[in-house]
Amino acid sequence: MVDNSTPYPLGVTVREDGLNVAVYSETAEAVDVAVFDDGSETTHRLDQRTGHVFHGIVPGGVGTRYGFRVHGEWEPAEGLRHNAAKLLLDPYARAVEGQWGAGEETFGHLFADPEQRNDADSAPSVPRAVVVDPAFDWAGDRAPRTPLADTVVYEVHVKGFTQQHPDVPEEIRGTYAGLAHPAAIQHLLDLGVTAVELLPVHQFVQDSHLAEKGLRNYWGYNSIGFFAPHNEYSAAGDDGSQVREFKEMVKALHAAGLEVILDVVYNHTAEGNHMGPTLSLKGIDNGSYYRVVEEEPENYFDTTGTGNSLNVSHPAALQLILDSLRYWVSEMHVDGFRFDLATTLTRQWGDAHVHSAFLDIVHQDPVLAPVKLIAEPWDTQGYQVGGFPARWSEWNGKYRDDVRDFWRGQGSLGALTQRLTGSPDVYEADRRSPLCSVNFLTAHDGFTLADLTAYDEKHNEANGENSQDGESDNRSWNCGAEGPTDDEAVNALRDRQRRNLLTTLLLSAGVPMLLGGDEFGRTQGGNNNAYCQDDEISWFDWAGADRELLGFTRELLRLRRETSALRGAWYRGDGLDGSPDAVLSLRADGEPMTQAEWDDGNARAYGVQFSAEGSATVLLLVNGATNPVEFTVPKAPAGPWKLVVSSDPQQEVGREVADLLVGEWSTTVLRSA
């Protein structure tokens, strides 16, 4: 056969004359493609080389199972970890069949002597890449392209969302097909969110230390295949059918007007540090794909807390990330990405930098131009909230901390106002907008909303680490010594606090992100680090849903959706100059706040009025004091003020109001049409 193979695209491409295979490695001496048929292995040497890309034509087509065996030096002290005894996953594999074992044979080194190469064949203990048919009928699919100003993000786990859903057929619960089921989609539509942000769906590896304790990696922040949808979430099987099922899910969500955002983990892989297994990149070209310590290349520079960090100063690693992003947009039709530990991706020269190659390349890419980009703006070495370019939105950790503190009785009105108005102290000086702030109070990592307000301490006993894991969050929500002490009153206060937090979150300027299940009181029993709990601790308990809280959340999102004054794309003045577009802070007597009031650390009650031309006006009355406060409501700008939402059960929703007594620890929302 004449070899007219090409060095691009990398990975495997189906052609009429077979499979075009291309693998990047600066340090390999030879690359074999191992093809598996009925358990037997046949190897094919890639005889062509263009630059640092090995390529060739290999017999096969759709459905072919394969892996790589890469020959080269084994010199860990020099950062070289080639070992042809290890069957390696194609970094560009579109689908993966099977799971990884945890035995010594999957490691490139010997346990007894990490400097010595382990020549045991890993093929019986690792999965195969599967060649898939990329064809799919996307006819009628249309990306919603919801403007950021109108976006409400719903962070959710593919499996946990439907694993116990009574209206989803049992055979597809916990899968991509389950999330695409009409009953699942209807909940999202009734709630009023516009986008699902899926916890990692890139193929990931189960951790051996968890398996030994009878636990599993549930969250999935242990990626190994940046192009492959995780096979365990497929109802159709892992023979490549998971790709079609994922596409069908996206198409169904799009048809309902819902966007799909992926939580992506490009900062590290499941191969860990120098003591970790050899599964893919480590055996292909360790130094190009991973950042090693310059003077000690046997060790890895780690800013992720997982053992390794991708080498974003190298073109090969950058190409892998960008090729993956483009693939998920072009071929899988996703609408955006949330980048886990995104700061690590900006460390081209060691320190985080706004002009890093990664950010510059993303900024220029036409395929990525229309999609949403959300950064988790920190890693183990630094906190970069406000440090990303204007093109990006960010998880705003300051929003979470300041709003929580206020409703705990510890924070100030000044800090709360910054967060309610889109964090101008973080973004306005750099001419960024409120839409750069993804506001959140809870996320997968930490307490759920129900647990945040119910537990003074974490309860992670089920994780098998004596509850030493997870962040400490030992601040009471019982509002100090003056809070209630009897159980009924405590539960009533916690119920109000949940509504206070939801009201603040869903009516703040910026892009709200709601943790899936918080809308109906989902609990994890106080576990604030349920990464390893693939069970009832993490799965949605639909039968136990708090229907009243669900209705309250729906009403807040309806109010946000119908009131453009709550969805400002830019910062606004106080309106005292007569401008119709304004955010005005008012004392309880209805007069504008003065600097003295802002400087008063004991001030706990005020009003925030949101107005915009062509929109109804909303007045949010906040009382974080331990006593009721009488508010003098300002003159309504148009129709009379109507009470539309309140965390105070004593308030009568729907009535017209003038002056109003707002109960302790509560929020009340008025609207003037």
Q: Which amino acid is residue 530, in one-letter code?
A: A
Sign of CA dihedral 217, 210, 462, 440: negative
Q: How far, in Å, CA of 522 to CA of 545, rounded?
A: 7
- State how beta strands 30-37 and 666-672 pair: unpaired
Terminal C-alpha separation, the chain: 75
Which position has the token pair 């159709």?
236
Q: Do 309 and 347 form a contact (C-beta atoms < 8 A)? A: yes
Please give the biggest Cα pair distance in the chain: 87
Strands (E), 414-525: 437-439, 511-515
Sign of CA dihedral 437, 439, 440, 441: positive
**CA 607 vs CA 301, 325, 436, 555, 587: distances in Å:** 49, 43, 25, 20, 6
Q: Give yes or no: 376 in active site.
A: yes
Q: Which amino acid is residue 337, in one-letter code?
A: F
- State how beta strands 437-439 and 393-395 pair: parallel
Two structure tokens written together for 276: 């970790």
Q: Which helix (H) or strand (E) holds 190?
A: helix 182-191
At residue 565, what are phi and psi to the nearest 5 degrees?
Answer: -60, -20
Q: Which helix (H) or strand (E) holds 359?
A: helix 357-364
Please tell me the total number of residues recorded for the chain in this structure.
673
DSSP state letter for 36:
E
Q: Is the peptide bond before 9 cis (omega within 30 degrees of 0)?
A: yes
At residue 214, what are phi and psi to the nearest 5 degrees?
Answer: 75, 20
Q: Do 153 and 195 form a contact (C-beta atoms < 8 A)? A: yes
Helix, coil or strand: residue 522: coil
Q: Do 6 and 41 form a contact (C-beta atoms < 8 A)? A: no
Considering the candidates 238, 302, 340, 581, report the single residue annotated as catalytic. 340
DSSP state letter for 148:
G
Q: How far, in Å, CA of 34 to CA of 128, rounded?
A: 10
Q: Do 245 and 235 form a contact (C-beta atoms < 8 A)? A: yes
Q: Do 391 and 363 form a contact (C-beta atoms < 8 A)? A: yes
Question: Quick one: CA torsion of 497, 498, 501, 506, rounded to 10 degrees?
Answer: -150
Q: Which helix (H) or strand (E) holds 294?
A: none
Q: Give yes or no: 26 in active site.
A: no
**CA 160 vs CA 173, 262, 539: distances in Å:** 9, 16, 4
Q: How far, in Å, CA of 162 to CA of 180, rounded?
A: 10
Two structure tokens written together for 173: 């619960």
Instruction: Count Cβ atoms below 10 Å from residue 232 Cβ, excluding itself.
Output: 18
Strands (E), 372-491: 372-375, 378-379, 382-383, 393-395, 437-439
Question: Quick one: CA torsion of 561, 333, 330, 325, rounded to 10 degrees?
Answer: 80
Q: How far, in Å, CA of 505 to CA of 512, rounded?
A: 6
Considering the candidates 263, 298, 335, 376, report the single residue annotated as catalytic. 376
Q: Which helix (H) or strand (E) holds 223?
A: strand 223-229
- State how beta strands 40-45 and 48-50 pair: unpaired
Q: How far, in Å, CA of 396 to CA of 394, rounded?
A: 6
Q: What positions carry a catalytic annotation?
A: 340, 376
